[in-house]
Amino acid sequence: MTIQRYVLPVLAAATVLASCSAPRKLRESEARNARLDSLYKDATAKLQRCDEDAARAAAAYKDRVASLTEKQQQLQTNNTQMLDHLKELSVISSSQAESIKKSLDNIGAKDAYIKDLQGAIARKDSLNMQLVLNLKGAIGNLDDKDINIKVEKGVVYIDISDKLLFKSGSYEVTDKAKDVLGKVAKVLLNQPDIEFMVEGHTDNVPYRPNVLLDNWDLSVKRATSVVRILQNQYGIPPARMTAAGRSEYVPVASNDTPEGKSANRRTRIVILPQLDQFFKLLEKPAN
């Protein structure tokens, strides 16, 4: 009886605690289930909206294709009717009608070709801009008065002031300029398909006799000096380069002022457009 007197209260207390704990766990479980159910409903609604958007897009695309197909068929029907009418009027012969029909059928193909051509031009422009950014990044914050990199009409130009490259009246490249040429060469070496021309330009001041013949001679020798450095010191294959002299005849400023003369005394590196590469771009879309 003594043991029962102690055990019974303990069991009663345990029963009371269990009866309190069970409803709490049930409530927690119900709350968790409610949250999961809400998340499930949200996910289901989003999935349904995605399915609806996809269905609308597919339907719109299908309608667009059907509309274009119908227009193409209507155009072909109109072309045929027009040609038949012309033949009936004896305006054109059967062979002429067939030739015109082929021409009309080719219009769509030519339109597609033009669009591909425009896309290829855009990709080529993008490659040129990337080359310009690479060159400017390699050269750094050099004064634009000494070196200027730009794209004009799809061609990349690198203009380097002769003040940076040469001493006055000389065609020997300075040590400072060799460092700049090395940075340019590094970028050009990473583009093995690029060919370029180095052009020498002068102002209109006649060159001293008995040293060089004239400004033609000076501009060519300055161009060949740059080419030799790019080849011998920086390893650019000579087959990729052309040396040219333009003398005083392609100025960028008036020779009436000292500033204009200074601007005209320059060496220009012209990245030559490669038609075969352009048509490769046209044949194979860029990744």
The burial of 15, by beta-carbon neighbours within 10 Å (0-12 exposed, 13-18 middle, 19 or more buried), is given as exposed
Question: Among candidates 233, 230, 208, which has minimal Cα distance to 160?
Answer: 230
Task: Decide which of 141 and 227 is more confident.
Answer: 227
97-148: pLDDT as tens digits: 667 666 666 666 666 656 666 666 666 677 777 778 878 787 776 556 678 8
Alpha-carbon gap, residue 100 to 181, rounded angstroms = 58
* Residues whose CB falls within 8 Å of the CB of residue 213, separated by 6 or more in sequence, listed in order: 207
pLDDT at 141: 64
Task: Decide which of 70 and 172 is more confident.
Answer: 172
pTM of the model: 0.54
Q: What's the token pair of residue 270?
A: 């012209």
User: DSSP per residue over 179-200, as a string?
Assistant: HHHHHHHHHHHT-TT--EEEEE
- Kindly report the number of other CB atoms within 10 A of residue 30's CB atom: 10
